[in-house]
């Protein structure tokens, strides 16, 4: 039984892969992770999907085990600021969309004559975030949302199997470098061999399969399966095996970023428990609150803005606190490898594919890839059907998320710069154009969104369409004839629940500070 894995790369992808496979297969698998001592990790990647909790549960880790070590906070939504017009914002939360008599509550909201905040009217969490509160009470119990925490029958399922079952009310935000460090300790304690060395050459056998990697000081490292976690460079999959890369740049032009890690007194500042994406002239700025600092960065398109202008804008946006903070300029490879598993090499992380972090999908991609590789782990016969099933799943997830991100730009109402005007006229995936035509008549549902698993439920699409304001939406005509009583009761229940929670939950900062003891 093949069981020797060589992972090249020690960023978030490398150490998430090593730790998960050790938790999955214990001593029955032999893992060596080699990472260069002089090629750094990308150094960003701090916000996640709520599904990431399955990763930590699989490793047997509780929040109090790892969150303090990673300066972590909760993320209750992405807050989209100034995408419609200056001063406007809305949330894309982790909260199931309620429905009444078979119609989503948002359809009833459109019928009643839209207010300026669909998110506050249709979700409870929007007001919880506005108030800077924790979704857990002081004693640690979770707000009694429809979600049943820790339901045993759910344990161990992959994210694909979890989709649509319940919606956990928050994700995490953490220091990427501290998480990699934490998972390094977790992995090495469980027998992963950690080699700090630079891979200078990848050797192929007569079939073109990888037979080993040659390092500067530790000679050749060989295994059965090689996992490429070398980031955007794709050293094994794209370079050694020459696997083509499919660019998304024609529909997602943002190809650059400049990031700052800004030390901050978060007790004085207070923590808004979400990731904020603030639209700018040629892209958007992320703000991620952690314990002790804020992570921020400008994601932009070099065709519209220079790195110097981007850095100047970012520093102005942050203010004096950014004065002595060094900037990290990043060129982003946007798109995906044609296949992420080729012969005996699997790419996981940026080496496999990436889209701009507008919905914090990078680590979700890694988590999904790891789960699918564990599920399709090869036998001695290297059955090609397993590779095909894996590659289809990875391609669908990335192509689906790409469509979802393109929708943000097509639907954004603002058109005050050439960048935003071009976003409305730029070619978009034909499949998305067809979907948008349907959504103009009927809000997204499971029949009309991207048809394969890609991590986003229909209500996520509703939030973007309703929040961005650039696409006219109409209520279902049937609602003009329907009795609105039940819907009115639902809206009132949301207002009541919002009142209860905003009067009782602790401040987010205070909850995290208490967790750190």
Ligand X SMILES: Cc1cc2nc3c(=O)[nH]c(=O)nc-3n(C[C@H](O)[C@H](O)[C@H](O)COP(=O)(O)OP(=O)(O)OC[C@H]3O[C@@H](n4cnc5c(N)ncnc54)[C@H](O)[C@@H]3O)c2cc1C
Ligand Y SMILES: N[C@@H](Cc1c[nH]c2cc(Cl)ccc12)C(=O)O
Min dist CB 72 to ligand Y, Å, is 16
CA 167, CA 276: separation in Å to the nearest integer? Answer: 21
Query: Annotated binding residue at 437?
Result: no
- 213 labelled binding-site residue: no
Q: Could you tell me which residues are beta bridge partners of residue 165?
A: none
Is 10 annotated as a binding-site member? yes
Residue 59: contacted member of ligand Y, ligand X, none (CB under 5 to 8 Å, by partner type): none
Residue 456 interacting entry, from ligand X, ligand Y, none, C-beta within 5 to 8 Å by type:
ligand Y
Which residue lies nearer to ligand Y by CB, 21 or 80? Answer: 80
Q: Minimal CA–CA distance to 236: which of 228, 224, 245?
A: 228
13 is in an annotated binding site: yes
As given in the structure block, the two tokens for residue 223 are 């295994």
Cα 42 from Cα 196, distance rounded (Å): 17
Shortest approach of ligand X to residue 216 CB, angstroms?
A: 9
CA 24 centroid distance within chain: 23
Q: Which is nearer to ligand Y, 277 or 473 (CB)?
A: 277
CB 42 within 8 A of CB 196: no
DSSP 85: S
- SS3 of the chain: helix, strand, coil, percent, to 5: 40, 20, 40
What is the contact surface with ligand X in residues (CB under 6 A)?
A: 8-14, 34-36, 39, 41-42, 44-48, 176, 198-199, 229-231, 233, 235, 257, 259, 297, 330, 332, 349-351, 357, 360, 362-363, 366
| Residue 350 CB, nearest approach to ligand Y (Å) | 19
Q: Is 188 exposed, middle or buried (0-12, 13-18, 19+ CB in 10 A)?
A: middle
Q: Is 236 annotated as a binding residue?
A: no
282 binds, among ligand Y, ligand X, none (CB under 5 to 8 A by kind): none
φ, ψ of residue 513 to 5 degrees: the values are -60, -40
11 annotated as ligand-binding: yes
Contact footprint for ligand Y (CB under 6 A): 49-51, 77-78, 92, 94, 167, 171, 359, 455-457, 460
Nearer to ligand Y by C-beta: 194 or 454?
454
Q: Which two tokens stand for residue 410?
A: 């097509």
Cβ atoms of residues 234 and 354 within 8 Å: no
Beta carbons within 10 angstroms of residue 268's beta carbon: 7
Quote the least distance from Cβ 35 to ligand X, whole Å. 4
18 or 105: whose CB is closer to ligand X?
18
3-class DSSP assignment, residue 260: strand
Q: Would you list the DSSP string of 433-458?
A: HHHHHHHTTS---TTTS-SS--S--H
The number of residues in the chain equals 517
Q: Which does residue 92 touch among ligand Y, ligand X, none (CB within 5 to 8 A, set by kind)?
A: ligand Y
- Say if CB 482 and CB 425 are below 8 A apart: no
Instruction: CB nearer to ligand X: give 174 or 439.
Output: 174
Residue 59 main-chain phi, psi, to 5 deg:
-80, -5
The minimum distance between CB 78 and ligand Y, in angstroms, equals 4
- Check the annotation: does 346 bind a ligand: no
- The tokens for 254 are 């943002």
CB 446 within 8 A of CB 432: no
350 binds, among ligand Y, ligand X, none (CB under 5 to 8 A by kind): ligand X
First-last CA distance in the chain: 46
- In angstroms, give the least distance from the CB of 112 to ligand Y: 24
Point out the residue whose Cβ comes nearest to ligand Y.
49
Q: Is 75 a catalytic residue?
A: yes
In the complex, minimum distance from the CB of residue 51 to ligand Y, in angstroms, rounded to a whole number: 5
CA distance 26 to 3: 11
Pick one of ligand Y, ligand X, none as the site partner of residue 202 (Cβ within 5 to 8 A by kind): none
Task: Quickly list H helices, 303-379.
Answer: 307-318, 362-375
Query: Considering beta carbons, is residue 121 or 228 the nearer one to ligand Y?
Result: 121
Binding partner selected for residue 78 from ligand X, ligand Y, none, CB under the kind-specific 5 to 8 Å limit: ligand Y
By C-beta, is 76 or 192 nearer to ligand Y?
A: 76
Which entry of 4, 22, 62, 75 is annotated as an active-site residue? 75
Q: Which residues are catalytic?
A: 75
Binding-site members for L-tryptophan are: 359
Binding-site members are: 10-13, 75, 199, 350, 359, 363
Binding-site members for FAD are: 10-13, 199, 350, 363
């Amino acid at each position: 039984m093949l069981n020797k894995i060589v992972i090249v790369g020690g960023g978030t992808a490398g150490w998430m892969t090593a730790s998960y496979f050790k938790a999955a297969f214990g001593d029955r698998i032999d893992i060596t992770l080699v990472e260069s001592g002089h090629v750094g990790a990308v150094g960003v990647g701090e916000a996640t999907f709520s599904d990431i909790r399955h990763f930590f549960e699989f490793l047997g880790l509780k929040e109090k085990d790892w969150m303090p070590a990673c300066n972590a906070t909760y993320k209750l939504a992405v807050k989209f600021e100034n995408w419609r017009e200056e001063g406007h914002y809305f949330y894309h939360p982790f909260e199931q969309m309620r429905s009444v008599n078979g119609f989503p509550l948002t359809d009833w909201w459109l019928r009643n004559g839209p207010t300026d905040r669909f998110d506050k009217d249709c979700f409870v969490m929007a007001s919880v975030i506005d108030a800077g509160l924790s979704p857990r009470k002081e004693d640690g119990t979770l707000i009694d949302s429809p979600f049943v925490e820790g339901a045993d029958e759910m344990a161990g399922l992959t994210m694909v199997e979890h989709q649509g079952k319940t919606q956990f009310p928050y994700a995490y935000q953490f220091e990427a470098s501290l998480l990699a460090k934490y998972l390094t300790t977790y992995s090495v304690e469980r027998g992963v061999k950690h080699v700090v060395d630079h891979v200078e050459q990848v050797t192929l056998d007569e079939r073109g399969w990888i037979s080993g990697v040659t390092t500067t000081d530790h000679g050749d490292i060989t295994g059965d399966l090689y996992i490429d976690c070398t980031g955007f460079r794709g050293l094994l999959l794209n370079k050694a095996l020459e696997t083509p890369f499919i660019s998304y740049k024609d529909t997602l032009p943002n190809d650059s970023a400049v990031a700052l890690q800004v030390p901050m007194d978060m007790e004085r500042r207070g923590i808004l428990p979400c990731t904020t994406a603030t639209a700018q002239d040629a892209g958007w700025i992320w703000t991620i609150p952690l314990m002790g600092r804020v992570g921020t960065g400008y994601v932009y398109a070099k065709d519209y803005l220079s790195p110097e202008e981007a850095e100047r804008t970012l520093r102005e946006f942050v203010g004096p606190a950014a004065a002595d903070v060094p900037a990290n300029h990043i060129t982003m490879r946007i798109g995906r490898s044609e296949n992420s598993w080729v012969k005996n090499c699997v790419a996981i992380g940026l080496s496999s594919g990436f889209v701009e972090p507008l919905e914090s999908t990078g680590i979700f991609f890694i988590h999904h890839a790891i789960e699918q590789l564990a599920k399709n782990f090869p036998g001695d016969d290297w059955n090609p059907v397993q590779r095909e099933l894996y590659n289809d799943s990875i391609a669908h997830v990335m192509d689906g998320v790409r469509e979802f991100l393109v929708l943000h730009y097509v639907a954004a109402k603002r058109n005050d710069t050439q960048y935003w005007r071009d976003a409305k006229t730029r070619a978009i995936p034909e499949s998305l154009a067809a979907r948008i035509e349907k959504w103009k008549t009927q809000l997204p549902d499971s029949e009309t969104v991207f048809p394969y698993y890609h991590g986003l439920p229909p209500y996520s699409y509703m939030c973007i369409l309703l929040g961005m304001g650039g696409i006219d939406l109409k209520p279902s005509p049937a609602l003009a004839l329907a009795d609105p009583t039940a819907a009115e009761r639902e809206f009132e229940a949301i207002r009541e629940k919002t009142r209860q929670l905003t009067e009782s939950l602790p401040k987010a900062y205070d909850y995290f500070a208490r967790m750190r003891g």
